Amino acid sequence: MSMDCLIRECRSGDEIGIRGCIVALQEFERTIEPRLRPGESMADEYFAQIRLRCCEADGQVFVALAGGAVVGFVAVLAREAFTDLDDPPGTYGLVTDLVVLESHRNEGIGRDLLERAEAFARAAGAQELRVGVLAKNVAARHLYLSVGFAPHHEILAKAI
C-alpha cells in the first residue's frame, strides 16, 4: 500500500479532483487514439455517466488522496449484466475506470485502487472482475496483468 495515500469512497467535494483525473486520462488516451473527444469537452457528462452506472449496477467510486487532494480514482460495478446470448447467465464485476495522475504514478496507488475495487466487488457477491484497456496502453496492461487479470476477449480494429 502506498504510504502517503488514503483510499476512500467518493464523497461530496471530490468532483473537481475526479474531473481533473478524467480529463488527464482522456488526454492520455487521445495520444493512443486521436479520434477520442477532448477531455474538457466530455469530463462532466462522463462522470455523470459513471455515477448512473454505479446506481444501476451496484457500483462505487473510490478516490486516492495525497495531501488531501484527489490524485486518482477507480470506478467499479459489482453487478454488470452479461447481455449477449452466448455469454454466461448472470453478472460480473467491472472496473470501468482507473486513473492515477502522472505526478503520482509508480507509487502503488493504482494497485491500491484495484485492490479496493476487487474487495468491494467480492463483498457484493461478484465472482469475476473484468477490466478493459486500450491495447497500446502498455503501463495499464502491465498493472492489470501483475495483479492477476488475464486476457479474456480481444476486439481487433482495422481502419477502412
What are the structural domains, with CATH classification, of the chain?
A: 6-146 (3.40.630.30)
Sorting pLDDT into bands at 50, 70 and 90, what band is 1? Answer: low
pLDDT (tens digit, 9 = 90+) per residue, 4-49?
A: 889 999 999 999 999 999 999 999 999 999 999 999 999 999 999 9
Residue 93 pLDDT exceeds 70: yes
Main-chain phi, psi angles of 7, to 5 degrees: -105, 130
- Over the chain, what is the mean pLDDT? 95
Listed residue (67, 52, 72, 70) closest to 12, CA to CA: 70
Residue 3 pLDDT exceeds 70: no
pLDDT (tens digit, 9 = 90+) per residue, 45-57?
A: 999 999 999 999 9
Angstrom CA distances, 144 to 23, 36, 141, stand at 21, 23, 5
Residue 2 pLDDT exceeds 80: no
Percent of the chain at pLDDT exceeding 90: 92
Angstrom CA distances, 54 to 62, 78, 94, stand at 11, 9, 10
